[in-house]
Amino acid sequence: MSKEELVIECSIERALDIIGSKWSFLILRELFCGTKRFGELERAVQGISPKSLSDTLRRLEANDIVVRNVYPTVPLRVEYTLTEKGQDFHKIIKEMKLWGAKWG
C-alpha cells in the first residue's frame, strides 16, 4: 500500500467517524431540504426510534454538522439546521444516490 492510499483510507475513516451511522445519512438527506423539527425528522426517517434520532442528532451536533436551535416557547420549539460543514456533505450524498440508483 502506498503512502497516498494510506492517507485516503484515513480520510475516509475520519469522514465516516464524523458522520456516523446509516441514520445520519437519512437525517442529513432530510435536512438538505431545510430546517426541521424533531417530530418532522422522526416521521421522515422511517424506522428510527426517538432514542436513535436523539443520539444521532447529538453526534451530528458534536461534530459541527448540525446546529440545534431552541426557541423559548411553550412547549419548547427545537429546530435542527445543517451547518456549512453539513451542507458541504450534500454533493457526496448526491453521488451516493446516483451510485445506488445505477447499481442498487
| Domain total in the chain | 1
What's the pLDDT at 28? Answer: 95
Question: 92: helix, coil or strand?
Answer: helix
What's the pLDDT at 1? Answer: 56
Rounded-to-10 torsion of CA 46, 69, 29, 62: -100
Cell of 64: 459541527
What's the pLDDT at 72? Answer: 94
Amino acid at 81: T
What pTM did the predictor assign? 0.82
Range of the domain at 74: 3-103
Q: Which residues lie below 8 Å from residue 34, measured CB to CB, with a gap of 6+?
A: 81
The enclosing domain of 24 has a CATH number of 1.10.10.10
Render each residue's pLDDT in the chain as its tens digit; 104 residues. Answer: 555 555 556 787 887 787 878 899 999 999 999 999 999 999 999 999 999 999 999 999 999 999 999 999 999 999 999 999 999 999 988 898 899 999 97
